[in-house]
């Protein structure tokens, strides 16, 4: 099967365009990775050892033997869908060795500069839930604005968003991880992000952007939309004087009871 005909590859291209349209992926902002299912991987018929090999120290064991669709470094999300061969590709992570192989695409290019963080995040999320296979990063505008105004403490940040709309608790009862600003692309920010991701699917980087993970591309995208919407509503309410307190702890607990959810431990007072 032609790798570009895989429905999830098309889905990734469509969603990246949608993200750009929303203003969340200016210039080369944002990156996406998707761990192919065994069926998708088998349909490719790739022969390990035949692709371009690129060194990558510290490949996590959890993704070995797997195939990962990923966006290219420097890729513009608005152009992705019309140039899959250069701006995206599929990498094979071999069973051994500090490297990966470019099996398809990524012509004259390489995966996102955050590829090691994506692989490590994928491994961490897979360990928590074997169905998690997507990592998305972008610069969602209201999330960014919120990091300039809202409490930096991640518990306070999560509670502020849970209180603004009912859907917040429904979509992310596990809460939001918050990494205060530091330079991106390095080990410090990667380590801090992974620590948060062990038991959460959303991690915000102060003054930079947001990471979400999910079982499907639409799942991870839905989390992005929801967290951005919550931030937008919170900011609007704040600008208008924030006169009402929002959903209180009792109400949040009621949402959890109604929908069978477990809120992050220690966040609610009842």
Q: Which does 51 bind (CB under 5 to 8 A by kind): Zn ion, ligand 2HA, none?
A: none
Q: Which does 237 bind (CB under 5 to 8 A by kind): Zn ion, ligand 2HA, none?
A: none
Q: Which is nearer to Zn ion, 29 or 60 (CB)?
A: 29
- Minimum distance of Zn ion from residue 137's CB (angstroms): 6
Q: Which is nearer to Zn ion, 117 or 158 (CB)?
A: 117
Pick the stretch among 23-31, 35-43, 117-125, 212-220 that binds ligand 2HA (CB under 6 A).
23-31
- Residue 204 pairs with which residues in a beta bridge? 178, 210
- Minimum distance of ligand 2HA from residue 157's CB (angstroms): 20
The yes or no reply on residue 209 touching Zn ion (CB under 5 A) is yes
Q: Which is nearer to ligand 2HA, 29 or 94 (CB)?
A: 29
Residue in 12, 76, 79 with CA at minimum distance from that of residue 40:
12
Closest residue by beta carbon to Zn ion? 209
Q: Pick the catalytic residue: 40, 101, 114, 225?
A: 114
- Tell which positions 47-86 bind ligand 2HA, by CB under 6 A: none
- Tell which positions 155-184 bind ligand 2HA, by CB under 6 A: 184
- Minimum distance of ligand 2HA from residue 225's CB (angstroms): 18
Q: Which is nearer to Zn ion, 177 or 209 (CB)?
A: 209
- Beta-carbon contacts of 115 under 8 Å, excluding residues fewer than 6 positions away, are 33, 56, 70, 91
The yes or no reply on residue 193 touching ligand 2HA (CB under 6 A) is no
Give the count of beta carbons closer than 10 Å to the beta carbon of residue 83.
15
Identified binder of ligand 2HA from the candidate list 29, 60, 62, 94, rule CB under 6 A = 29
What is the residue-wise DSSP string for the chain?
A: --GGGSHHHHHHHHHHHHHHHTTSS-TT--EEEEEPPHHHHHHH---TT-SEEEE-TT--GGGTT-EEEEEBTT--TTTGGG-HHHHEEEEE--SSSSEEEEEEE-TT--B-TTHHHHHHHHHHHHHH-TT--EEEEE--HHHHHHTTTS-SSHHHHHHHHHHH-HHHHHH-TT-EEEE----SSSHHHHHHHHHHHTT-SEEEETTTEEEEEESSHHHHHHHHHHHHHHHHHHHHHHHTT--S--S-HHHHHHHHHHHT--PPTTS---
84 near 13, Cβ under 8 Å?
yes
Number of chain residues interacting with ligand 2HA (CB under 6 A): 8
Q: Which does 228 bind (CB under 5 to 8 A by kind): Zn ion, ligand 2HA, none?
A: none
Verify whether residue 232 is a known catalytic residue: no
Pick the stretch among 6-14, 127-135, 206-214, 260-268 that binds Zn ion (CB under 5 A).
206-214
Chain residues in the site for ligand 2HA (CB under 6 A):
28-31, 112, 114, 137, 184
Active site residues: 114
Chain residues in the site for Zn ion (CB under 5 A):
209
């Amino acid at each position: 099967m032609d790798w570009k005909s895989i429905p999830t590859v098309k889905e990734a291209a469509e969603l990246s365009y949608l993200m750009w349209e929303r203003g969340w992926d200016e210039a080369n902002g944002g990156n996406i990775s998707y761990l192919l299912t065994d069926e998708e991987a088998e349909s490719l018929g790739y022969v390990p050892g035949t692709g371009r090999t690129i060194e990558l120290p510290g490949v996590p064991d959890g993704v070995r033997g797997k195939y990962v669709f990923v966006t290219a470094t420097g890729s513009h999300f608005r152009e992705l869908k019309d140039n899959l061969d250069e701006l995206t590709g599929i990498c094979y992570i071999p069973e051994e060795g500090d490297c990966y192989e470019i099996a398809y695409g990524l012509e004259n290019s390489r995966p996102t500069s955050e590829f090691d963080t994506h692989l490590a995040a994928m491994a961490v999320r897979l360990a928590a839930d074997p169905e998690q296979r997507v990592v998305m990063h972008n610069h969602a505008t209201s999330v960014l604005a919120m990091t300039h105004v809202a409490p930096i403490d991640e518990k306070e940040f999560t509670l502020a968003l849970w209180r603004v709309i009912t859907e917040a608790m429904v979509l992310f009862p596990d809460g939001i991880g918050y990494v205060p600003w530091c330079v991106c692309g390095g080990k410090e920010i990667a380590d801090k992000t992974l620590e948060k991701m062990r038991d959460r699917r959303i991690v915000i980087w102060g003054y930079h952007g947001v990471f979400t993970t999910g079982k499907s591309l639409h799942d991870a995208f839905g989390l992005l939309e929801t967290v951005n919407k919550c931030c937008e509503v919170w900011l609007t309410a704040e600008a208008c004087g924030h006169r009402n307190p929002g959903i209180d702890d009792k109400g949040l607990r009621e949402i959890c009871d109604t929908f069978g959810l477990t809120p992050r431990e220690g966040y609610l007072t009842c």
